[in-house]
Structure 1
């Protein structure tokens, strides 16, 4: 940063500084030919202090136990998509720590989540990471059986259990709510409704995306050798792009990205594409920006005309090309869809462990879960979503591809190699970060006031759940 820029920043109130001499995200979007909707043009940043965030949350097994006891038992979690359980009797097993749930459709418009344990001697009724269809749930050990609605159907040799009252032996349940094609569960029956938990701002945004009209076309999972929060936070900012993803910085306005918070449980960033990184200003032309985005076998626009006309920007040409490509692919008219929705990255964190990516170009969901017996590992999942075909026949969701820890994301079937490389870069830093936090003499991590506000906001909410008086 220049001396003049430092002087300017020092005269601003904490949290007000932005990338010097550069357009903001909103200024970039305002120049687009097809204007953006309200949810894109909104801003909701609030300064949350500059204190370090303590590292015990990443390295202390006792802290991880507090999370299992106080956080995971009281928060709304994305358990599965409705397309996982489209018919009555379909079920999907969702595990979080030691807890396990059978999420099942018990009627056309009813979904329940049963604790996945026999009430006789505790055997799991269904194995972890399984799904299927059933008319009843039978324990494989002694044959005790529950009906689809969770009521007790049979206690083997019931003459020996006169003390078991049928009406008191239904399978315990978690709360369930459906939203935009997602099935959310919460173990706390006193928890606020999901709508209240998420807030009106986010629900207004979500309604625009019509995610209920998408289905899972790809699902990749991998265990990452780092705490689940560290792994999530690697994806919460674009500050790392210039160092970690240099191959995309030429067409990524990383330091211009916008960061927003909504209540306690939702935050987001908007990262504009088709714009040169401020770190590279003066080193590349508009033509270079377009070439970087479209060159290579992994680019969806690799065969497109890449010669800019006089006065034309790379961002506008990219938006026009993306619109044409998606119109052909979906046989639809996208003339009213904004350039920003076609190009930009919209990443929303839904606390505690889900990322939703809005827009057209990146319809994805990330999910993160701690590994039950190792606070230094987590399960990271990527779901790729695609619009349901025009005939209304929803394809079955793709089966999960589980990678080994040593495997590259590029090895996952159906994975775009360029995107797989980005995921590899994002996760390769994490073991070093986990080990570094365990080796450091510094008791906390230091965060930027603006570019890392999502991390601070997220950890502030973690603190509220695990506090001793929570």
Structure 2
């Protein structure tokens, strides 16, 4: 990965993009109606006829699995008088979709197949009144949707490098172990910014300093046309080897995927430990290397192909930003995802955040660990794991500060280069839309 200087991107970020209704309205046209965005997981729709609704601001879409097993997307509106076909979040339409207003019906391919009292309806051309289609595709087990009828392909949007770097993790084989959606009192970009830097760990997550240290001198970044990835070694700078071991043994508290790895890690440690558990490691052997070895062995034994992943990718968190609203930390066998989208009411001071975790689990255990989706209706009623709860409480505080009129910009530091890149992509999309 490249050591990119912050000066490559703008470090002064105007605050009106977080608070201004007019800016939010322009984002609707420039970003949300024109970019690929994640609308769910492929295994949300396992059977023909399974469908789910995806909404962004005031736009509503349906994604359905056809009889041919293909996923398709449609505007959630009857072609007769625009009635919403589906109000629920998900369901199964084995016989297709039926508009409850005037009983027009559509098959799973979106074709108009039935009209009430068709012999009296007049000259209605069914072929010209199919449901309006939208682009749908999949990658890494996620369903992507783009409202733009002229959208570039998903592969083009992601780019060859992103696809090549993420495919070896086999995220499509992971099982959902957490899935929570909640309205939160901040702009969607405040959420994205919060997870694009580790500069706040000392202030907000001091407990993580035992196992994770974001050092600008060792962090590496790679920036793509729309996306980015950052990597920081999973180690504590200046800590003794024994402190490293203690931190790694505490990993399951924050990273549940390491639960299965720790026993093998302890076995690999044993030859280097005395009767009191104190370790002495020869040249070429480190706790981090042993954790990498344990992770590779355990996941391989569980049936996950990690042969194309590097030792670093076994344990080091790779922090991915897929524009516009997807952040993921991924390591071999598990990933944790944060997504944020504007609130449906259009208020720039509110958004919907979606947090989810995915882990590789052997087939026979997947149903037992799969998490049901939770939608939180009462703010503060859902308790996240410690670090996530700390972010949840912090982000609305930032939004309150951003609303002060005299604060016209934020000033970024070197450790926030990913935020700077993200906003450069926002700027480009906003500028391109203005030129149309």
Bin of the TM-score, shorter chain as denominator length: 0.7 to 0.9
Quick check: 1:427 aligned with 2:386? no
State the Cα distance separating 1:309 from its structure 2 match: 1.9
- The offset of 1:127, in angstroms, is 1.7
What aligned pairs does 1:90-129 form with structure 2 within 5 A after superposition?
A: 90-129=50-89
Who is 1:437 aligned against? 402
1:331/1:84 CA distance change after superposition, 3 Å: closer
* CA separation of 1:89 and 1:297: change in aligned 2, threshold 3 A: closer
User: Which residue number corresponds to residue 155 of structure 2?
Assistant: 195
* TM-score w.r.t. length of structure 1: 0.79
Correspondence 1:49-448 to 2 at 5 A = 49-159=9-119, 161-256=121-216, 258-273=219-234, 275-277=235-237, 281=238, 284-295=239-250, 298=253, 300=259, 305=266, 307-311=277-281, 313-323=286-296, 326=299, 330=302, 338-360=310-332, 362-373=334-345, 374-387=347-360, 389=362, 398-403=371-376, 404-410=378-384, 420-439=385-404, 441-448=406-413
* Cα drift, residue 350 of structure 1: 0.9
- Higher deviation after alignment, 387-396 or 288-297: 387-396
Per mean C-alpha deviation after superposition, the further-off stretch among 312-321 and 166-175 is 312-321
Q: Distance in 2 between matches of 1:333 and 1:462?
A: 36
Distance 1:231 1:309, change over 3 A: same
**Secondary structure at the counterpart of residue 207 of structure 1:** helix
Q: Deviations over 1:197-225 (max 9, x none)?
A: 11121111022222222232331222221
Question: How far apart in 2 are the matches of 1:297 and 1:168?
Answer: 56
Q: Report how far residue 191 of structure 1 moved.
A: 2.0
- Relative to structure 1, the CA distance from residue 231 to residue 128 in structure 2 (aligned partners, 3 Å threshold; closer, same or farther) is farther
Q: Structure 1: how far apart are the matches of 2:252 and 2:164? A: 37
| 1:451 paired residue number | 415
Instruction: Tell me the alpha carbon deviations over residues 153-185 of structure 1, each in whole angstroms, 9 at most, x when there is no partner.
Output: 222233553153212111001112222322212
In structure 1, list runs of 5 or more residues that go unmatched: 1-41, 411-419
Runs of 4+ in 1 over 4 A off after TM superposition: 301-306, 320-328, 331-338, 390-397
Alignment partner, residue 45 of structure 1: 4
Deviation of 1:447 (Å) = 1.1
Q: CA deviation at 1:294?
A: 2.2
2:333 touches 2:360 (CA, 8 Å); kept in 1? no
**TM-score if structure 2 supplies the norm length?**
0.85
Contact 2:292 2:311 in 1 (8 A): yes
Deviations 1:394-420 (A, max 9, x none): 88964211233213433xxxxxxxxx1
Q: Which has the higher mean CA deviation after the structures are superposed, 115-124 or 125-134? A: 125-134
Q: Superposition RMSD on alpha carbons, in Å?
A: 2.9
CA gap of 1:149–1:141, structure 2 versus 1, over 3 A, is same
* Number of residue pairs aligned between Structure 1 and Structure 2: 412
Unaligned runs of 5+ in 2: 270-276
Secondary structure of the residue that 2:348 maps to in structure 1? strand
